[in-house]
């Protein structure tokens, strides 16, 4: 099964489906990513805060896969927003991953109430890293429309992606609209709402109709909306199921029914980026 590549605004492209390693224990990461490679995944999404970049790097080194066949994303830790810290830690990520260059480096959170509210300085550090060839592309994560507008207005450099919480119960339309306005692609974290889609009657009924699992139906909903997704599972069977979403389509009525599950802010499962201020 072939995963579509989506063109990014900087001329590169990204596989629409990837494998996320959020909350995968560091000691289990290499084996888990190796299983993901066996299932067919070639896009891996990690972060400094996950503490498992080294495991991802080990899996890459022992995979036998060509570097050009892989897409690797990592993200800047909230502790390192000052430019000098960001520069140092970008190099540290490359060392842990065992790579000369990642495909995509993101600011993990804007932290508007920290660092004097100056996340633009952090964005400039990523721009420098891209210019130095340490990352092919740069983007952001959890940026609200105002955050996105500000970095674009002050630097003229548009992120290729904005990785934000999106799932049927929190479709995050304001952010998706802001992304679209700037030509930024939406990456959906928590795409199956931390498993909550498994218990939803509407998604369950659609899954029965199309002969798929609720997770597959939800991931297919994302894909047909144009989102980039990277579900996480440490279960090899679920890894394979989550990968098998490109050989069927949802009808427009199915898509609309899932759209209607949106609960707005009440459906959010993670922190609100306007107030999230955690620095580890």
- Residues with catalytic function: 50
Shortest CA distance to 18 belongs to which of 169, 242, 248, 255? 242
User: HEC states along 155-220?
Assistant: HCCCCCEEEEECECCECCHHHHHHHHHHCCEEEEECCCHHHHHHHCHHHHHHHHHHCCCHHHHHHH
Residue 165 contacts residue 193 (beta carbons within 8 Å): no
Strands (E), the chain: 5-7, 13-15, 19-20, 43-45, 71-76, 102-107, 135-141, 161-165, 185-189, 228-229
What burial class does residue 22 get, using C-beta atoms within 10 Å of its C-beta: 0-12 exposed, 13-18 middle, 19+ buried? middle
Q: Give dist(CA 237, CA 239) in Å, integer.
A: 5
Q: Is 275 helix (H, G, I), strand (E, B) or coil?
A: coil
User: Do residues 77 and 50 touch, judged by C-beta distance below 8 A?
Assistant: no
DSSP tally for the chain: helices H, then strands E? 10, 10
């Amino acid at each position: 099964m072939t995963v579509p590549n989506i063109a990014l605004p900087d001329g590169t492209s990204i596989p629409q489906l990837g494998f996320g390693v959020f909350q995968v224990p560091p000691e289990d990461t290499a084996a888990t990513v190796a299983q993901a490679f066996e299932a067919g995944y070639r896009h891996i999404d990690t972060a400094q805060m996950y503490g498992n970049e080294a495991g991802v790097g080990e899996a890459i080194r022992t995979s036998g896969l060509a570097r050009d066949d892989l897409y690797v994303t990592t993200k800047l830790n909230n502790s390192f927003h000052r430019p000098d810290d960001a520069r140092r830690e970008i190099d540290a990520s490359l060392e842990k991953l065992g790579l000369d260059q990642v495909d995509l480096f993101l600011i993990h959170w804007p932290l508007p109430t920290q660092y004097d509210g100056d996340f633009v300085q952090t964005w400039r550090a990523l721009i420098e890293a891209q210019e130095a060839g340490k990352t092919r592309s740069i983007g952001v994560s959890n940026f609200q429309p105002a955050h996105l507008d500000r970095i674009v207005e002050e630097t003229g450099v548009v992120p290729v992606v904005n990785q934000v919480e999106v799932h049927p119960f929190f479709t995050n339309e304001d952010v998706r609209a802001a992304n679209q306005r700037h030509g930024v692609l939406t990456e959906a974290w928590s795409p199956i709402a931390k498993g909550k889609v498994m218990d939803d009657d509407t998604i369950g009924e659609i899954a029965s109709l199309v002969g798929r699992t609720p997770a597959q139906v939800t991931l297919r909903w994302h894909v047909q909306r144009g989102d980039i997704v990277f579900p996480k599972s440490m279960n090899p069977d679920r890894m394979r199921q989550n990968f098998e979403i490109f050989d069927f389509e949802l009808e427009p009525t199915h898509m609309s029914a899932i759209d209607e599950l949106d609960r707005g802010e009440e459906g959010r499962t993670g922190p609100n980026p306007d107030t999230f201020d955690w620095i580890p």
